[in-house]
Amino acid sequence: MDDFQVDVLVVGAGNAAACAALAAREKGASVAMLEAAPEEERGGNSTYTAGAMRVVFNGVDDLVQLYDLTEDEKRDVDFGSYSADQFLDDMGRVTNYRCDPELTDILIGRSFETLKWMRTKGVRFQPSYGRQAFKVNGKYKFWGGLAVEAWGGGPGLVDLEHKAAVKAGIPIHYQTPAVSLIEEDGVVRGVIARHKGRKVRIGAKAVVLACGGFESNAEMRTRYLGPTWDLAKVRGTRFNTGAGINMALAIGAKPHGNWSGGHAVGWDMNAPEFGDLEVGDNFQKHSYPLGIMVNANGVRFVDEGADFRNYTYAKYGRVVLGQPGQFAWQVFDKKVAHLLRDEYRIKQMTKASANTLEDLVEKLDDVDARAALEEIRRYNAAVRTEIPFNPNVKDGRCTTGLTVNKSNWANTLDTPPFEAYAVTCGITFTFGGLRINTGAQVLSTDGDPIAGLYAAGELVGGIFYFNYPGGTGLTNGSVFGRIAGANAAKAAKSESQPKRVAGT
Ligand SMILES: Cc1cc2nc3c(=O)[nH]c(=O)nc-3n(C[C@H](O)[C@H](O)[C@H](O)COP(=O)(O)OP(=O)(O)OC[C@H]3O[C@@H](n4cnc5c(N)ncnc54)[C@H](O)[C@@H]3O)c2cc1C
């Protein structure tokens, strides 16, 4: 590859990058994308997702602007609605009200229009029946504010975005990681990248960084998230090593947000070190609200039913990492087996099953079996069975009197066969990153925008702290990617205009 010049250079080729590139091209800029991965691993974490996207909608009339529904679906399915206020409440609650108010307002306020815009670019959406709706009395009802997912999940999303990029004349350069920013007199003028062992100089009038967080970098994880984070498995791409963040910090960008925080979930104990595209996100085990989790000491350690899984799953990976041996077993009985998510029906699982609880606890590797049996009996005795079980609402069916109570969906474990699944911590992405303003310009440590530098997606800090409402990562990348791309194109255009000379 030879050196080249372009108006807008987008670093990364995931969802945030694709939205940035398409938006910049739409404004008339010449655009190129750089992707660290080879083509078969393209698209970063966005490819590994199920494609769930959190978006404001006021009912089925809005949803039909995003996807097609049959008349039967419109009549029979309870999609509910998800208002901007609910989205804001969710963001505030799960981040302990630390999320940046201005960026959060934009994320929420532009979510619906951005998904509509993506549809005009060829991205397709569908209702998320599989994971966000339970059938009660023969009727689907959606819960937890998530009714939209990309058609074909993450791979479908990235495939259609890349097709749109190719159609728009945007080249994607694979195996070409950016290694540093070219900066002249405080203005970003492009990047130095590496391609097949050679350095390439790519000049640009504006650069958009959309190349992920530092979740795949064990050294940075341990440095910022803390001890034992080097032991976590990575759920997605091996290419998000914090390069974009580091190259911006090196020219004076401001670090921002929850650098000690990240999104991490319960993930199969024996999953590989990084994500596996064949399995996608199916190593996750997210039905714990329907059962219990015990650690190596045989005891429960967290309220599995504190909230809908959408609002607890992203912080419980850290809780599992904190257990002895960094693992836990999730335990269920037959009464809820049919409600377990699809990821409980794959081949690659660490699973035990038995017809008695006595036999089951003996099969839980590395667990104190006697203590586990006593714990399950204590739990069973504490369940308020007079409160009806309903997985679609926070049913208040709880336990009382335990050291760690369960607040909702507490069912006794008494109906064989019993099943258990071993999980460790799988990190999804990191929360700390660069500070941007509402125009997606990267700010310097002195608070001013760095001319020619924009950022979007995972590597932006200040949006998520401690926890995260499921389905917000993709929407965040889309909204700010689109803003970054459009503004980068505008900046590139103004660079191309003949400069006004004073007095003329
Ligand atoms: C298993 C899993 C399931 C998930 N499910 C969902 C979900 O259903 N809904 C949701 O909203 N979110 C989900 N997420 C989170 C979501 O993936 C991220 O929030 C989102 O994809 C981030 O998009 P991004 O474009 O910022 O980063 P990415 O999609 O990770 O893209 C970053 C890109 O940058 C490239 N790159 C890295 N370094 C360089 C470099 N130096 N030069 C050039 N390129 C570089 C990478 O190869 C990659 O292509 C999930 C994540 C995982 C791992």
**How far, in Å, is the centroid of ligand 1 from the Cα of 400?**
41
Give the predicted TM-score (pTM) of the model. 0.93
Q: What is residue 392's predicted lDDT score, i.e. its pLDDT? A: 85
**How far, in Å, is the centroid of ligand 1 from the Cα of 21?**
15
The C-alpha atoms of residue 289 and residue 293 are separated, in whole angstroms, by 9
- Identify which has the larger pLDDT, 73 or 161: 161
Does residue 46's CB lie within 6 angstroms of at least one atom of ligand 1?
yes
pLDDT of 504 strictly over 50: no
CB atoms within 10 A of CB 367: 25
Does residue 11's CB lie within 6 angstroms of at least one atom of ligand 1?
yes
pLDDT level of residue 84 (50, 70, 90 thresholds): very high
Q: What is residue 498's predicted lDDT score, i.e. its pLDDT? A: 57
**How far, in Å, is the centroid of ligand 1 from the Cα of 189?**
25
Coarse DSSP helix, strand, coil percentages of the chain, rounded to the nearest 5 percent: 35, 25, 40
Instruction: Give the torsion through C-alpha atoms of 73, 75, 78, 81, to 10 deg.
Output: 100
Does residue 282's CB lie within 6 angstroms of at least one atom of ligand 1?
no
Residue of 118, 246, 474 best suited for mutating to test ligand 1, as the one with most atoms within 8 Å of CB: 474
Average pLDDT in the 45-66 region? 96
Does residue 430's CB lie within 6 angstroms of at least one atom of ligand 1?
no
> Which ligand 1 atom is nearest residue 42's CA?
49
Does residue 233's CB lie within 6 angstroms of at least one atom of ligand 1?
no
The C-alpha atoms of residue 60 and residue 53 are separated, in whole angstroms, by 16
> Which ligand 1 atom is nearest residue 153's CA?
8
Say if residues 107 and 88 touch (Cβ distance below 8 Å): no
The C-alpha atoms of residue 252 and residue 268 are separated, in whole angstroms, by 39
CB atoms within 10 A of CB 169: 10
Residue of 45, 192, 282 best suited for mutating to test ligand 1, as the one with most atoms within 8 Å of CB: 45
Does residue 143's CB lie within 6 angstroms of at least one atom of ligand 1?
no
Look up residue 115 and give its amino acid.
L
Instruction: Provide the percentage of residues in the chain whose pLDDT is more than 90.
Output: 90
Say if residues 49 and 26 touch (Cβ distance below 8 Å): no
Pairing of strands 418-430, 433-434: unpaired
Average pLDDT in the 109-137 region? 90
Q: What is residue 447's predicted lDDT score, i.e. its pLDDT? A: 96
For residue range 375-407, list pLDDT tens digits in order. Answer: 999 999 999 999 999 998 999 999 999 999 999
pLDDT level of residue 123 (50, 70, 90 thresholds): very high
Q: What is residue 503's predicted lDDT score, i.e. its pLDDT? A: 40
Residue of 22, 126, 200, 211 best suited for mutating to test ligand 1, as the one with most atoms within 8 Å of CB: 211
> Which ligand 1 atom is nearest residue 43's CA?
49
For residue range 426-482, list pLDDT tens digits in order. Answer: 999 999 999 999 999 999 999 999 999 999 999 999 999 998 999 999 999 999 999
pLDDT of 236 strictly over 50: yes
Residue by residue, DSSP assigns 283-347 as GB---GGGSEEE-TTS---S-TTSS-GGGTHHHHHHHHHTSGGG-EEEEE-HHHHTTS-GGGGSS
pLDDT level of residue 101 (50, 70, 90 thresholds): very high
Side-chain-facing half-sphere of 364: CA atoms under 13 Å:
32
**How far, in Å, is the centroid of ligand 1 from the Cα of 325?**
28
Does residue 12's CB lie within 6 angstroms of at least one atom of ligand 1?
yes
- DSSP letter at 447 equals S
